[in-house]
Amino acid sequence: MRLPRTDRGRLVLVLVLAAAVTVFTATVPLLRGWFDLRVYYGTVDSWIHHGGRIYDYRVPGTTYGFTYPPFAAVAMLPMALLGLRAAIAVALLLNLAALAFVLRVLAGRAWRRHGWFGCALAACGLALFEPLRDTFSFGQVNILLLALVLLDCWLLATGRGRWAGVGIGLAAAIKLTPALFIGLLLVARRRRTAAVATAVAAGATALAAWVAPDASRYYWTHAMWDTTRVGRLDYVSNQSLQGILARLGVSDRLVWAVAVLLVLGVWAARTRRAVAAGNWTAAFALTGLTACLVSPITWVHHLVWLLPSFAVLLRAGHPRLAGVLYAPLCTSVVWLWFDDASGVDGFLGSNIYAWITLGLLLRLPVGQLGAESSTLPRSSSDMTPAPSMAAPTIAHASAQPGPAAPPSGSTAAATGIVAGPGLGLTRKASSDPTGSTRPTAQNPQSSSRPASS
């Protein structure tokens, strides 16, 4: 398929794609009903207005409560001044602003060269990305954390390293997973920046201990280690190494520990190469991939940490590979093995997001990249033909990844346009925090526990 060369043709194509994306988002994946945001809001409301304790709160009718470190609750205190609907509106705006910043950092200056057409194609691609859809629909904080971490990436890449470390430190104090980026700073021999990040994380944690001493004591001595607060490790949404092993029936923690050490070894070696080449985006992308793999729980919506990897692929001149890997992440294909992940097909299909993450860790280009390199279609009349955009918009029909891949213009990392997945839809939201197109699990995951952070 050749992309249209006239503005009228491009407008028609964008409208058709936008309509297809809207229909897909409104009918195929269930909306999450702001479930995690309701956990945050209910916790803060109970704590401030009703004298409740942070880790005792449960969403009415469920067993799910607040499981982030105490500083996260302190950071969310402004919600006590708002009603639930206002809190949802503010969360949407914050997520959209964070997404715009993330894409601006990942695209660099090149985004200006692609015009409205390239940006519109990218927005359609972003709206299909399942981890991003779920982050918005759950009311999750993943994009905000990614923005904090990439702020430090931008500071390091632009020679402003003396100010770096604050973003990573704050992110690590809110959830546990971003703490691996302190390890990245140590691998890169940025000891001062690592010290700043550690000091900020420790300071934020100390602040929370001063504001809520009982909650802090309970979290670090009990809640953090209480595995019953997680969901099932073998739940299909868990796309980590632990999830793969659990679905295989392997419960030996030693096997998991060995797998984690191997992945960390690959990460350290490849990250050093990226830093040596001055490619901080690749170094941060590799760390995000590794964090998803080694965390005991990596729910699907945590995979927004893969977005920097697609930016690296695009800027390295691999748009087709980016499309091939991006397309399955838009299809909710893993849910086909919701009930039964046995057999070869279950081993391959139920873990496909984890395989993509592992493949990116092993093969992501880590050499020096030009800051202006990009592959989005430009808006000028001499634009060269690009691969078809049709495949990712129809792939949902069978919940299987389509045979064709989206072009680079559909991937998240190459533009600064903001996409709001799942917004403005009137379909009834799922009351199940892990709602999918499959039957409800007996113990579905709550996306806001510390082990999955």
Q: What does the pLDDT look like over 308-318, one tens digit per residue?
A: 999 999 989 99
% of residues, the chain, pLDDT over 70? 78
Most confident residue range from 58-67, 209-218, 417-426: 209-218
Distance CA 415, CA 104 (A): 7
Total number of domains in the chain: 1
Tokens of 93: 């705006």
The verdict on residue 153 lying in a domain is yes
The verdict on residue 13 lying in a domain is no
Picking from 233, 249, 257, the residue whose alpha carbon sits closest to that of residue 347 is: 249
At position 172, the amino acid (one-letter code) is A
**Model confidence band, residue 22 (pLDDT cutoffs 50, 70, 90):** confident
Output 372 or 59, whichever has higher pLDDT: 59
Q: Report whether pLDDT(402) > 50.
A: no
Domain range for 204 is 33-221+233-371+388-414
**Model confidence band, residue 185 (pLDDT cutoffs 50, 70, 90):** very high
DSSP readout, 49-99? HS---GGG---TTSS----S-HHHHHHTGGGGGS-HHHHHHHHHHHHHHHH
Q: Is the pTM of this model over 0.85?
A: no
pLDDT score of 422:
37
The verdict on residue 1 lying in a domain is no
pLDDT score of 8:
78
Most confident residue range from 193-207, 373-387, 388-402: 193-207
Q: Report whether pLDDT(168) > 90.
A: yes
Neighbours of 6 (CB within 10 A): 9
The verdict on residue 289 lying in a domain is yes
pLDDT score of 61:
83
Most confident residue range from 125-129, 312-316, 359-363, 427-431: 359-363
pLDDT score of 412:
37
Q: Report whether pLDDT(419) > 70.
A: no
Give the mean model confidence (pLDDT) for residues 414-423.
38
- Exposure string (b/e) for 255-287, b if CB count within 10 Å is 16 or more? ebeebbeebeebbeebbeebbeeebbbbbbbbb
User: What is the residue whose two structure tokens read 């495949």?
Assistant: 391
pLDDT score of 110:
67
DSSP readout, 197-242? HHHHHHHHHHHHHHH-HHHHHHHHHTGGG-GGGS--TT-TT--SHH
The verdict on residue 28 lying in a domain is no
**Model confidence band, residue 64 (pLDDT cutoffs 50, 70, 90):** confident
**Model confidence band, residue 243 (pLDDT cutoffs 50, 70, 90):** very high
pLDDT score of 111:
64
Helix H segments across 248-326? 253-276, 280-294, 307-315, 319-326
CA angle 46, 50, 54 (to 5 degrees): 35
The verdict on residue 274 lying in a domain is yes
Q: Report whether pLDDT(389) > 60.
A: no
pLDDT score of 450:
37
pLDDT score of 112:
67
Tokens of 368: 């020096």
The verdict on residue 433 lying in a domain is no
pLDDT for 201-220, tens place per residue? 999 999 999 999 999 999 99
Q: Report whether pLDDT(97) > 90.
A: yes
Phi and psi at 318, nearest 5°, equal -125, 60
The verdict on residue 238 lying in a domain is yes
Output 59 or 255, whichever has higher pLDDT: 255
Q: Report whether pLDDT(240) > 90.
A: yes
Tokens of 319: 């748009």
